[in-house]
A and B are shown apart, each in its own frame.
Chain A
Amino acid sequence: MMRRLALACIAALLAAFPAMAQQEPIKIGLLAPLTGVVAAGGKDMVDGWNLFWQQHGTKIAGREVEVIVEDDASVPDTALTKARRLVQQRGVHMIVGNLLANTGLAVAEYVKGTGTPYFIPIVAADDLTQRQRIPNVIRVAGFTASQLTRPLAEWALKRGYKNIVTISQDYTFGHEQVGGFVQVFSQGGGKILQQIWHPLNSADYSPYLAQIQSLRPDAVFAMENGADAVRLLDQWSSFGLKGQIPLITTQNSTDQSVIRGMGEQALDIVSAGHFAEGNPAPATKAFVEAYEKAYGKLPAMFSAAMYSGALWIAKAIENVGGDVEDKDKFLAAIRATRIPESPLGPLLLDDYGNPVWDVHIRRVVKREDGKLWNVPFETFPKVSQFWTYDPEEYLKKPPFSRSFQDISK
């Protein structure tokens, strides 16, 4: 009874003073893995996110923005519990973040029921903006795994590579990134000699490297994350394959988080990505400089993506005049927002909630001060998650997996 009375009073107050309701802060829940297997990446995410708000202030359209950070512990079950708390207890207007695909998928499944806007600048699981898309889940400043490797395949074909071996960690993010590559490469007449899938956290690559040597490919395409990437690049070099067989990789394999502490082993490796810390474009350059000044190191892709995501979200909040309570209007504003310049280049979405990116082919080079970074030397403009395929036709195919790589013979 008391509670109902109190609620009625509050409702009456809100109705009487609509302006007062506007003064409530806009609450954004930020989910990041601050503990667990990908905690380092989670730190990069939060750093990039914070940099934006430090630079631009936390007031948009007259309303204060309050960010509530929660640790998803790199575990989907925990991510789900934290998402529940953010929505039900903290009353957030939107959730941003998560790193691992399984944590993102768990949260997406939950917000499907609540309608809470959920933005994923990092989670790359293809189906979130393809076969199983959810209207309130938008890949703001994010990418689908298979999107960025297709231009690299096109580049490799142009470069004259005919026979390729792929090596990748054996999990969905790998299957999807490699799938995008071999799909385009084989359709363009290239041949996939072999696909090597190895378990996560491989200490020893020598059996695979010996196999690669005996296959004599024109190039090797690698997809490795984290410590595995460091180990592969190291062993690739100490096996003497460096300089003998060209190594081309996914964006994450030569990300700052990987090459930061490395030496010559990482030099000259070509990869494809929507971010390149060595990109001379003004917005990217300004971001990289500010980030270096704030944190004393070059930014990883996660940082750039979270920064750009914050930029995108802030712009959309501004466009709706701070009225994030109207979810439909706010989501429409997110979809309609276009930003010509960001650390990741122009920001705009396709009809399926995934950005269209200018994808850079990048090479690891040494900066004047001796630090390694990725510098773009060729750009494929406006690359959609569907490449040149018809979206509806594309969606009829099964998702990439170990057994479905869509290789044309």
Chain B
Amino acid sequence: MIHRTGIALAILLLAALPFGVGGFGVDLATQILIFAIFALTIDLLAGHTGRVPLGHAALFGISSYVVAYCVVTVGWPVLAAVPLGILSATAAAAVFGWLARKTTGVYFLLLTLAEGMIVFGIAFRWSSVTGAENGLRGIPRPPLVSGQWAFYWLTLAVFLLVLFALWRLLRSPFGATLRGIRESASRMAMLGYDVPRHVLLAFTISGFFAGIGGALYALYNGFVSPATVSLTRSTEGLLMVIIGGSGKLLGPPVGAALIVLLENYASLWTDRWPMILGGLFVIAMLVAREGVLGKLAALTSRRPSRVTSASAAPSTQH
């Protein structure tokens, strides 16, 4: 009961956010939600399946590029381009996942890194289609959500749907299987589970949701450039996951919020803000390896008499 009211309250607060923050705040919140979706898709593999991907920006960005190309170059309506963008990301994820399905650890990391670099290379060099390093621009938002607030609400709705879908997925037997694979792939294989097939499926699902994020991002920015599919973006996503708390449903969104806010507010005070980001990362590794959410959970669980805020803990771990 407390859980439900907490969640409802959190959603209400998020929906009412535009009334409390200025125009730029709404834009920033939209950006955070899009990156939260992106980080969630990374964590589906990294935190829940135990396979850390380093090329996820490619999947996210393929969707952005397909939407941009269909709308700007071909002249399709946005509503037709978005499904194709998501489909392309899913298809690409299936290919990536098929190639990487049997690898683990550093090999999985490097393979996905290579896959990401291929997509980056294509985006950077195939100038007649991708516009090379200048990218593609002039992607309009559909009239209904062209306003700042409307687009925020759309993004919020999509984010909540993605969050809900992942929550259901992770609570299902399939989610349990993924966690089993994370803990011990060999034991799962011995129990009769087809591990590579599950990894492939998780990868493809992850790509599908990344595609949703990527399509939103294309509409949000109105342009797409190779920076969207770059290694930096993939690393940033992973950083969000680690700082927020890997393996917890709300970890990646918290991490996304932290990093986007830090980037935008630390840079007000200093040009050396990447150093602050680096420092924060080191500190997180030293004192809170389980991420901000994990640390909070650990701190609060020492005092069991206290009821934790419901919105902060519909965790799948318990």
Contacts and interface: CB of A to CB of B under 8 A. Distances in A.
Contacts of A106: 135, 137, 221, 223, 225
Given A76-B227, A106-B221, A85 B24 contact: yes
A380 interface: no
Contacts of A75: 227, 232
B222 interface: yes
Interface string A57-83: 000000000000011000111101110
B271 A105 contact: no
Interface stretch (B5-13, B41-49, B93-101, B125-133): B125-133
Contacts of A100: 133
Contacts of A329: none
A77 B225 CA distance: 8
B142 interface: no
Interface in B196-236: 221-223, 225, 227-228, 232
Contacts of B24: 84-85, 88-89
A77 B228 contact: yes
A69 to B, nearest CB: 9
A238 interface: no
Interface in B103-152: 125, 127-128, 132-135, 137-138
A171 B133 contact: yes
A401 B28 CA distance: 35
Nearest to B222: A109
A34 B266 CA distance: 14
Interface residues of A, number: 30
A101 B264 CA distance: 22
Interface residues of B, number: 30
Given A81-B264, A171-B132, A76 B223 contact: yes
Contact of A70 (B27, B232, B267): B267
Contacts of B138: 109
A76 B23 contact: no
B31 interface: yes
Contact of B22 (A78, A88, A403): A88
B77 interface: no
B271 A35 contact: yes
A110 B220 CA distance: 11
B274 interface: yes
Nearest to A104: B134
Contacts of B23: 88-89
A105 B134 contact: yes
Interface in B27-46: 27-28, 31
A356 to B, nearest CB: 25
A171 B225 CA distance: 13
A125 interface: yes
Interface of B: 22-25, 27-28, 31, 125, 127-128, 132-135, 137-138, 221-223, 225, 227-228, 232, 263-264, 267, 271-274
15 contacts: A34-B271, A35-B274, A70-B267, A75-B227, A76-B227, A77-B227, A81-B264, A84-B24, A89-B25, A101-B133, A105-B135, A106-B223, A109-B138, A109-B222, A125-B134
Interface of A: 34-35, 70-71, 75-78, 80-82, 84-85, 88-89, 100-102, 105-106, 109-110, 125, 170-172, 175, 401-403
Given A35-B271, A84-B24, A89-B23, 14 more contacts: A34-B271, A35-B273, A71-B271, A76-B135, A78-B263, A81-B27, A88-B24, A88-B27, A102-B134, A106-B135, A106-B221, A110-B222, A172-B133, A402-B127
